[in-house]
Amino acid sequence: MTEAVLSAKKSKKATWAAIAKAAGMSETYVASACLGENALEPAAAKKVSKLLGLKPAVTEALTEFANKGEAAATIPKEPLQYRFQEVLYVYGRTMKEIIEEKFGAGIMSAIDFSLDIEKVPDPKGDRVKVIMNGKFLAYKKW
């Protein structure tokens, strides 16, 4: 499925933003579904497939539940993915401390979650702005 989507995306010179617009969903969610990490509703999958000219089997595959994280290596070798791992190495404890100070003991949901990526122009070199927005889930005490 992913290979078919990426091949069609390339041949049609489509962007993730254009594909997401066709689906009526967010760019990051649609990209993650097309990469096998999330699933689309049938109507959205049909819209993506229509835009990209995908076969019915690919359309159906876009709606199947994902095995999240299956493609991820323990330590990514791809430089951009490694840098995000590095952010967790350097700032993970800091993030945990600040979240727990503000919210209490718990975690940020990756299920009730959104992710946005923005380009921020800067005269010294464009910047990448990553916005993660997850529901706080307090640890249950019993």
- Which residues of the chain are under the pLDDT cut of 50? none
11 belongs to the catalytic site: no
Buried b / exposed e along 13-39 (16+ C-beta atoms within 10 A): ebebebbbebbebebbbbbbbbebbbb
109 is catalytic: yes
Same domain, yes or no: 98 and 126: yes
Q: Say what the pLDDT of residue 108 is.
A: 95
Helices (H), the chain: 2-12, 16-23, 27-34, 42-52, 56-61, 79-103
Q: Is 54 exposed, middle or buried (0-12, 13-18, 19+ CB in 10 A)?
A: buried
Contact 103, 138 (CB under 8 A): yes
* Residue of 7, 11, 83, 97 marked active site: 83
pLDDT digits (tens, 9 = 90+) for 45-85: 999 999 999 999 999 999 998 877 666 667 888 899 889 99
Q: Is the residue at 20 inside a domain? A: yes
Write down the pLDDT at residue 40: 96
The burial class, CB within 10 Å (0-12 / 13-18 / 19+), for 49 is buried
> Is 74 a domain residue?
no
The tokens describing 37, both together, are 């990490």
- From 86, 93, 97, 127, active-site residue: 86
Checking 16-24 for CB contacts under 8 A at 24+ apart, the result is: 18/51, 19/48, 19/51, 19/52, 22/47, 22/48, 22/50, 22/51, 23/47, 23/48
Provide the domain count of the chain.
Answer: 2
Residue type, 102: K
Domain holding 56, by residue range, is 2-61
Give a yes or no: residue 68 inside a domain: no
Same domain, 89 and 132: yes
Catalytic residue check, 93: no
**Is residue 67, in this structure, part of any structural domain at all?**
no
What confidence score (pLDDT) does residue 23 get?
Answer: 98
Whole-structure pTM value: 0.75
Please identify which of the residues 7, 11, 100, 109 carries the catalytic annotation.
109
Answer yes or no: are the C-beta atoms of 104 and 138 closer than 8 Å: yes
73 inside domain: no
User: Considering 34, 61, 88, which residue would you say is the last residue of a domain?
Assistant: 61
- Considering the domain architecture, whether residues 37 and 83 belong to the same structural domain is answered as no
CATH of the domain at 53: 1.10.260.40
Residue 50 and residue 84 share a domain = no
